[in-house]
Amino acid sequence: MNISRKAVLLLVSFLFSALPAFAYPMFLERFQMDPYRRGEVDGCMTCHMSAAGGDERNAFGLAFAGAGTMITPMLRAQFPDRFSYPVSRVSEMMVVHFSDPMNQQVVVESGGTKMLVNVAERTVDGRAAIAPGQPASGGGAAPAAAPASATARRPGAPLVDAFAREGAFFGMQIVNLPNGKPVPAGGVDFQISHRFQQHVCFELHDANCPPGSIGASGLFGFDGSAVVSYGARVGLTDRITVGATRSNRGPQAIEVNSMFHLTRQSPSVPVTFAVRAGLEGKRNFSERFSPIIQPIVTHTIADRVSLAVVPTFAFNTRNENSGLPQEFLFGAEHNHTVSLGLGAGVRFLRSTSVVGEYIPRLYGFRGEFKDRPGASIGMQFATFRHTFELLISRQEAMTAAQYAVQGTDTFRVGFNIYRKVR
């Protein structure tokens, strides 16, 4: 445990000592590249209250987050101190803001009220234009105005905000592996996960299928008991996240963790890079403490394909009090585990992705009873605040210190549910 403590202390020291060096907001680059931004506006005070950044957002920072961290024509029109663009003053009461570089939308200001006019789609604040003699939609009442951030969304883009996904990855994880997605300051994410212990039975002659649980008659494993976990993450700043997860496997394992984002992918930054560290304790955090360290690197191609590499360094992974014979212990001469998590995802609909992960053990203790790397595949369905993931996995474990080690030789069905609380 001395090595474990030193590793965690070293990581914590590194994160907090490096914090000032990475104090610029991850979205500053997006503002700097905007063709209409004012050159004299720069640095962390663009969005934050102080020059150091990482603290409360100012009015522009709040509006930027509310627009899904996208710079929209309406956002530019609302903050002329941040942007400079052509303006036409029609009268004392009416001003037209040509704040869209693509020349598809304009913002019309009348009497202090701003309206987004989408010329390409012929809408005003999301309300479609009506031809002469054509009845209004729904029997006369005009549809409710859509948020400016929604009407400005690029066609085909996912119907979730930028903080809710990492390329083709939605929710908090790929399946078990973290996907590198941050939580904004003040944001809260919640997760519920199930892994059904009865393995997937597709063939009648499969000797591992118990009577009455073969194929569709047993819902391919959904009838079995389940390993369950609950977790939550809170954004302290846009870069620092803290969280906790509890699983009934372990037994009663509780993992507390923190993640620090150094970069997020942008036109000038090729990858999202974060470091996650945690500590797992068995029996409700009372014994067998296992520290973990996970660098996370994610890269997205054309906003459709995402790739992730997540090495995991897990310490004190072997139960030294286990009475199992040596033939059921793999790598028993070690008490630590190094694994390599590989993840991939393909978004084929606006908010639907197929994802997969593979977790081979590179060094150290490799588990009990079965000597298999982890492997999982899932399908993620996302809305603005929810993600549901249906999956099959060759793992029951859902905490990092356990899935870095454990794999089975059969697949089990399961699901993850992610909820963005705020």
162-420 to CATH, choices 2.40.160.40, 3.30.470.10, 2.60.40.10, 1.10.10.350: 2.40.160.40
Task: Please tell me whether the overall predicted TM-score, pTM, comes out greater than 0.85 for this model.
Answer: no
pLDDT-above-70 percentage for the chain: 81
pLDDT-above-90 percentage for the chain: 46
403 has pLDDT over 80: yes
pLDDT at 136: 55
pLDDT in tens, 210-228: 554 445 555 555 666 789 9
Q: Report whether 345 contacts 323 (CB < 8 A).
A: no
Which token pair is 219?
Answer: 């819902």
pLDDT at 312: 97
Domain extents in the chain: 2-130+139-151, 162-420
Tell me the backbone φ, ψ of residue 34, rounded to 5 degrees: -70, 130
Q: Report whether 185 contacts 57 (CB < 8 A).
A: yes
406 has pLDDT over 60: yes
pLDDT at 112: 82
CA 233, CA 214: separation in Å to the nearest integer? 38
Average confidence (pLDDT) over 239-260: 94
148 has pLDDT over 70: no
| Order of strands across the sheet that contains 87-89 | 87-89, 94-97, 105-110, 113-118, 123-124, 127-128
More confident residue, 45 or 202: 45
Residue with token string 């139960």: 319
Q: Is the peptide bond before 143 cis (omega within 30 degrees of 0)?
A: no
Conformation bin of residue 143: beta by default, left when phi > 0, alpha when psi is -120 to 50: beta
Amino acid at 258: S
Q: Which of 189-198, 214-223, 341-350 has the lowest mean pLDDT?
A: 214-223
How confident is the prediction for the chain on average, in pLDDT? 82
